[in-house]
Amino acid sequence: MAASSLPNADRVAKHLCFGLQFRLLSALTFLLSLITACGGSPNPGGKPGEMVYYSEGGDIKGFDPVRASDVDSALAVYKIYEGLVEYDYLYRPYRVVPVLAESLPEISADGLTYTFKLKKGVRFQDDPCFPGGKGREVTAEDFIYSFKRLMDAKNLATGSWVFAGHVLGVDEWSKASEDRGKPTDYTRPIQGFEAPDRYTLRIRLKDPYPQLLWVLTMQYTFAMPREAVEFYKDDLLNHPVGTGPYRLKRWQRNYRMEFERNPAFHGQLYPSEGAPGDREKGLLADAGKPLPFIDRIILYNVREYYTWWQMFLRGQIFSVGISKDYFNKVVNTDLELTPDMVKRGIVLRKEPQMDVFYLGFNWEDPVVGNGKTTEEAERHRKLRRAIACSFNQEQIKETYAGRMIPAAGPITPGTTGYDPAKPYPWKFNLDLACKLLAEAGYPDGKDARTGKRLRLSLDMGGAGDAETRQLGEMYVNFVRQTGVEMTINFSLQPEHWRKLERKETQMFSSGWVMDYPDAQNVLQLWYGPNESPGVNHCNYKNPEFDKLYQRILTMQNSPERTAIYKQMVDMIVDDCPGVFMFHRLTYALLRDWVVNFKPHDFPYPNVKFYKVLKH
Amino acid sequence: MTAYIIRRLLTVIPITLGVLLLVFTIYRVIGGDPAVRLAGKNATPAKIEQIRKQFGYDKPKFFNWQEAAKTGQPMAVFDSQFWQVVRQFAQFEFGKSLQSNQRISRMMADGVVPSLCITTPIFLIEITVAIALALLCAFYRNTWLDRTFVVISIVGMSISGLVYIMLGQYFFAFKLGWFPVWGFEGVNYVLLPVAIGVVAGIGGSLRFYRTIMLDEMYQDYVRTAFAKGASQRQVLFKHVLKNAAIPILTNVVVAIPFLYTGSLMLESFFGIPGLGRMTVDAIYTGDEPVLFAMVFIGSVIFVIANLITDLCYTWADPRIRLQ
Indicate the angle between helix axes B187-217 and B104-139, nearest 10 degrees.
Answer: 40
Contacts of B176 (CB under 8 A, 6+ apart): none
Minimum mean pLDDT range among A326-340, A435-449, B27-41, B97-111? B27-41
Q: How confident is the model at residue B126 (pLDDT cuts 50, 70, 90)?
A: very high
Q: Verify whether the Cβ–Cβ distance A307 to B169 is below 8 Å.
A: yes
Using CA coordinates, name the residue in chain B closest to A31: B170
Residue A555 Cα to chain centre, angstroms? 24
- Taking residues B197-225, report their average pLDDT: 89
Higher pLDDT, A507 or B273: A507
- Predicted pLDDT of residue A351: 75
- Taking residues B59-76, report their average pLDDT: 85
Measured in angstroms, the CA of A525 and the nearest CA of chain B are apart by 9
Residue A554 has pLDDT above 50, yes or no: yes
Q: What is the 3-state secondary structure (H, E, C) of A364-427?
A: CCCCCCCCCCHHHHHHHHHHHHHHHHCCCHHHHHHHCCCCEEECCCCCCCCCCCCCCCCCCCCC
> Can A58-295 and A355-586 be said to share one CATH topology?
no
Residue A443 has pLDDT above 80, yes or no: yes
Residue of A508, A596, A410, A588 lying closest to A8 (CA atoms) = A588
Q: What is the 3-state secondary structure (H, E, C) of B62-79?
A: CCCHHHHHHHCCHHHHHC
- Predicted pLDDT of residue A42: 38
Helix locations, chain B, DSSP H: 2-10, 12-24, 34-39, 45-55, 65-71, 81-90, 104-139, 144-158, 161-168, 187-217, 220-227, 232-234, 241-243, 245-255, 264-270, 275-285, 288-316
Minimum mean pLDDT range among A129-138, A509-518, A527-536, B1-10? B1-10
Q: Rounded to an integer, what distance in angstroms lies between the CA atom of residue B235 and that of residue B241? A: 8
Determine if the peptide bond prior to A93 is cis (ω within 30°).
yes
Contact A359, A458 (CB under 8 A): yes
Q: Verify whether the Cβ–Cβ distance B100 to A62 is below 8 Å.
A: yes
Residue A3 has pLDDT above 50, yes or no: no
Residue A22 has pLDDT above 50, yes or no: no
Q: What is the number of CB-based contacts under 8 A between chain A and chain B?
A: 166
Domain extent listing, chain B: 16-90, 104-316
Kindly state the percentage of chain A with pLDDT values over 70.
92
Contact A104, A98 (CB under 8 A): yes
Contacts of A233 (CB under 8 A, 6+ apart): none
Q: Verify whether the Cβ–Cβ distance B271 to A2 is below 8 Å.
A: no
Residues of B in contact with A22 (CB under 8 A): 162
Q: How many CA atoms lie within 13 A of B87 on its CB side?
A: 8
Instruction: Tell me which H or E stretch contains A606.
Output: none
- Taking residues A414-435, report their average pLDDT: 90
Higher pLDDT, A330 or A241: A241
Q: Verify whether the Cβ–Cβ distance B32 to A255 is below 8 Å.
A: no
pLDDT digits (tens, 9 = 90+) for A78-128: 999 999 999 999 998 899 999 999 999 999 999 999 999 999 999 999 999
pLDDT digits (tens, 9 = 90+) for A121-170: 999 999 999 999 999 999 999 999 999 999 998 888 888 999 999 999 99
- Predicted pLDDT of residue A46: 58
Q: Verify whether the Cβ–Cβ distance A498 to B270 is below 8 Å.
A: no
- Taking residues A66-86, report their average pLDDT: 92
Mutation for testing the A interface, residue in B100, B179, B266, B283 having most A CBs under 10 Å:
B100
Q: How confident is the model at residue A368 (pLDDT cuts 50, 70, 90)?
A: very high
Domain B104-316, CATH 1.10.490.10 — does that match? Answer: no
Residues of A in contact with B278 (CB under 8 A): 254
- Taking residues B200-226, report their average pLDDT: 89
Measured in angstroms, the CA of A527 and the nearest CA of chain B are apart by 11
C-alpha distances in angstroms, A83 versus A90, A101, A127, A239? 19, 8, 19, 18
pLDDT digits (tens, 9 = 90+) for A470-494: 889 999 999 999 999 999 999 877 7
Q: How confident is the model at residue A2 (pLDDT cuts 50, 70, 90)?
A: very low
- Predicted pLDDT of residue A25: 52
Contact A225, A142 (CB under 8 A): yes
Using CA coordinates, name the residue in chain B closest to A303: B268
Q: Which of A240-249, B68-77, B167-176, B237-246 has the highest mean pLDDT?
A: A240-249
Contact A307, B182 (CB under 8 A): yes
Domain extent listing, chain A: 58-295, 355-586
Using CA coordinates, name the residue in chain A closest to B285: A494
Q: Which CATH class is domain A355-586?
A: alpha beta
- Taking residues A490-511, report their average pLDDT: 88
Residue A13 has pLDDT above 70, yes or no: no
Higher pLDDT, A339 or B321: A339
- Taking residues A524-546, report their average pLDDT: 94
- Predicted pLDDT of residue A418: 87
Instruction: Count the helices and strands in chain A (H runs, E runs).
Output: 17, 21
Q: What is the mean pLDDT of chain A?
A: 88
User: Taking chain A, what is the end-to-end CA distance rounded to the nearest angstrom?
Assistant: 37
C-alpha distances in angstroms, B107 versus A77, A526, B293? 20, 39, 11
Domain A58-295, CATH 3.10.20.30 — does that match? Answer: no
Residues of A in contact with B174 (CB under 8 A): 33, 310, 313-314
Q: How confident is the model at residue A43 (pLDDT cuts 50, 70, 90)?
A: very low
Residue B258 has pLDDT above 90, yes or no: no
Indicate the angle between helix axes A493-501 and B275-285, nearest 10 degrees.
Answer: 20
- Taking residues A8-19, report their average pLDDT: 34
Q: How confident is the model at residue A367 (pLDDT cuts 50, 70, 90)?
A: very high
- Predicted pLDDT of residue B251: 83
Q: Rounded to an integer, what distance in angstroms lies between the CA atom of residue A422 and that of residue A414? A: 15
- Predicted pLDDT of residue A609: 96
Q: How confident is the model at residue A225 (pLDDT cuts 50, 70, 90)?
A: very high
